[in-house]
Amino acid sequence: MIALDALNILSDKNVFLGSECAGDIVAVGSDVTDFVVGDPVIAVADNSFANYVTVNQLLVVSKPVSLNYESAAAFPVAFLTAYHTLYHVAQIKPGDRVLIHAASGGVGQAAIQLSQAAGAEIFATASPSKWAGLQAMGIRHIYNSRTLEFGEQIRADTDGQGVNVILNSLTGEGFIAESLSVLAPQGCFIEIAKRDVWSHHDMADRRPDVQYHLVDLVRNIRDTPELIQQWLATLMQKYTEGILQPLSCTTFSVEQTIDAFRYMRDARHVGKIVVIQKDEQNGIVRPDRTYLLTGGLGGLGLKVASWLVEQGAKYVLLLGRSQPTAEAQHDIDQMTASGATIMTRQIDVSQRDQLAQVLADIPADVPLGGVIHSAGTLSDGALNNQQWDKFESVFAPKVYGAWHLHDLTQTLPLDFFVLFSSVAGLLGNPGQSNHAAANVFLDALAHYRQARQLPALSVAWGAWSDIGAAAEMVQREQARMAEYGKGYIQPEQGIQSFAYLLQTGESHVSVMPVQWKKFLTTNEVKTAFFARFMHHAVEQLQTDAVTIDFYTQLKQATPEQRRTLLIRHLQNITAKVLGWDKPEKLNIQTGLMDLGMDSLMAIELRNVLARTINQKLPSTIFFTYPTLQALTDYLIDNMFVSDDIRDEDILSSSQIKKSTKIAEVRDLDKLSPEVLADALAEEMADLSQD
């Protein structure tokens, strides 16, 4: 809905970019008595992408201590929508059957929790890739949200009785009608989508028995803020009682807002997407929190600690088994000189009681804000020489330490919980079966925590060049690594990667410099694990080669030859996207949509075309130039205005002005959410350059 509003597609201008937030109060009006400056709060507020917002105190609620800022920002609108629709509109009761469409989204997850609290039986739809998360929430009846097969399946699962309540947000062709086919007589159909919805007249014609409600929470917020205040208070009480849990969320810094919308376009997220004001450091690094690092006295731990201090951390707790070396103490002194308090403790993190005591000693006025688990040790040996004591010595700091940290902190409102894993768990290293197994446990633990809506990130690092346990190995094995296409991580590159990953919301990511052409031709990667990856990577390598060849050929051609080359090329790549066997049969004067192209195909074709002509193309180019002939004319007129092809020509051309923006294009109802999100990202990119 926010995307549609930003593109001027919604006629009712009630929504702005960002409609909810969490943060600290910096000022209060003279009549405000419930809050004071400094209070951490959650608010429903327009324009929440800004650094500061002014909001009616009726739309503000205190943030519980156990709820971090990211989860708090994702809380209000989703839960308010689910609470209003299910408890007040549908008035669900124990035993009701409730169908929740798009159940892996923010409103969907909130609706699941509230339906479970009401004792209802839940039927959910979602993309198959997101079913595991729903299963982790205890949902048994899960169906595909991308097909209409759910209707027949639900009728079978309910012995033809259907469901009592439907919470709908799907707008694809046939979804509403198929949903109605499983709605029991006198059932309640609640629509929260904003486009392509049925009118009350449409519903009365098809199912006059149905209680049909078009819900607009924005209008409730605007017209009845007192009611919103009551609902927020009720929901926060349910949270503090443990009835409700935080939603899954993926975070981006405000500088990554374009990436956030592209992430939404690709439908990769589960739950909510949250944008963090990086300069405020809410939810990333804060001066009033303590940050704990295991393995903190090693080279990698100290490097990360220094980065935390650079980001504003004032209290850092470094755990290690030994006293700091002279080199480590030098680094600690430098951090202390910058104004940070650096604490060190010598403990064995595999011993739960020792770790529990360290956590208990953290001052209450600077509570634990984040955990980074980088402790580890190596005990290599060929598999036939491995003994359990070698496994246990490696497992102790990695596996036992990680589990104790999880168990002891799972009720704390941490901003992050990071596990330093290794690519050994993905690729395997000779002689390191114990090390690989231990790191796989860390990766699995991160997935487990995220499934329980707890912060978690496992970074499977490759070898670092100058620091860490593998540094000496890198020096010995540098030539062999290069032979297999593997590189090593420069410390500054590694820290930059860590800083980026900390904000993505991913659960498990591997970081390793790779020369793919060499890497993919070695025997050690020819496994089932890499089969699909190799297919896409090789295809990309081939595409890159084609890009270079065609780009060079096009540039060197005469103006008369370019048109023929472009038409032939456009026919070839369009036929591949459409699945046609004979590219030459494509009529260059026929509209692409008439040839069978949909919005997802348009995105694919645009990306392929952009790569092969070395140009950046707007997402709406096929709506502005809907035939291959029109597209060819445009490219000829704009790509070669001089002897060189300039990357900026297409976007800076005077032929593309704001009148061709997505909001001006006709037939907007034909655009998919993916295209709209992509266009919004480009709109925001343009705004950032103005």
Q: pLDDT tens for residues 240-282?
A: 888 999 998 888 877 677 777 777 766 677 888 888 775 444 4
287 phi, psi to nearest 5 deg: -70, -15
Of 158-162, 357-361, 549-553, 583-587, the least confident: 549-553
Query: Please, what sign has the CA dihedral across residues 323, 328, 334, 339?
Result: negative
Q: How far is the C-alpha of 57 from the C-alpha of 272, rounded, in Å?
A: 24
Residue 653 above 50 pLDDT? no
Instruction: Look at residues 346, 349, 458 and name the one whose alpha carbon lies nearest to residue 401.
Output: 349
Helix, coil or strand: residue 291: strand
Residue 143, pLDDT > 90, answer yes
Confirm whether pTM is higher than 0.75.
no
Output the pLDDT for position 600.
66
Higher pLDDT, 625 or 525: 625
The alpha-carbon radius of gyration of the chain (Å, integer) is: 28
CB 646 within 8 A of CB 551: no
Instruction: Determine the pLDDT at residue 472.
Output: 55
Tell me the pLDDT band of 651, cut-offs 50, 70 and 90: very low
Digit-coded pLDDT (tens) for 393-427: 778 889 999 999 999 999 898 989 999 998 877 77
What does the chain come to in residues?
690
Mean pLDDT in residue range 577-585: 80
Is it the case that residue 211 has pLDDT exceeding 70?
yes
Q: What is the mean pLDDT of the chain?
A: 80
Which residues contact residue 59 at a Cβ distance below 8 angstroms, ignoring those fewer than 6 apart?
A: 43, 44, 45, 221, 225, 228, 229, 232
pLDDT tier, 359 (very low <50, low <70, confident <90, very high otherwise) = very high
CB contact at 8 A, 410 and 445: no
In this structure, of 492-496, 508-512, 569-573, 672-676, the range with the lowest mean pLDDT score is 672-676
Asked if residue 650 has pLDDT above 80, the reply is: no
Residue in 347, 364, 241, 220 with CA at minimum distance from that of residue 294: 347
**Is residue 629 pLDDT above 70, yes or no?**
yes
- Is a pLDDT exceeding 50 seen at residue 158? yes
Q: Which residue's entry shows tokens 């609620």?
A: 61
Q: Where are the alpha helices (DSSP H) in 241-272?
A: 257-265
The one-letter amino acid at 266:
D
8 has a pLDDT exceeding 50: no
* pLDDT of 500 higher than 60: yes
Q: Is 343 helix (H, G, I), strand (E, B) or coil?
A: strand
The string of pLDDT tens digits covering residues 222-243 is: 888 999 999 999 999 999 888 9
DSSP 508: E
> Under DSSP, is residue 425 helix (H, G, I), strand (E, B) or coil?
helix
Q: Inform me whether the pLDDT recorded for 356 exceeds 90.
A: yes
Phi first, then psi, for residue 237 (nearest 5°) are: -65, -40
In angstroms, rounded to a whole number, what is the distance separating the alpha carbons of residues 464 and 484? 17
pLDDT value at position 219? 83
Looking at the predicted structure, is the pLDDT value of residue 381 above 90? no
- Phi then psi for residue 129, to 5 deg, are -65, -15
Among 59-68, 468-477, 588-597, 680-689, which stretch is predicted with the lowest mean pLDDT? 680-689
What span, in angstroms and rounded, lies between the C-alpha atoms of 393 and 397? 8
| CA dist., res. 314 & res. 291, Å (int) | 9
Domains and CATH numbers, the chain: 68-283 (3.90.180.10), 284-516 (3.40.50.720), 548-689 (1.10.1200.10)
CA distances from 130 to 10, 144, 488 (A): 29, 10, 34
The per-residue pLDDT for 33 is: 87
Q: Where are the alpha helices (DSSP H) in 123-252?
A: 131-136, 150-157, 175-180, 200-206, 217-223, 225-240
- pLDDT, position 67: 84
CA distance 511 to 527: 20
The tokens describing 200, both together, are 């009350």
Q: What is the pLDDT of residue 529?
A: 59
Give me the percent of the chain exceeding a pLDDT of 90.
Answer: 36
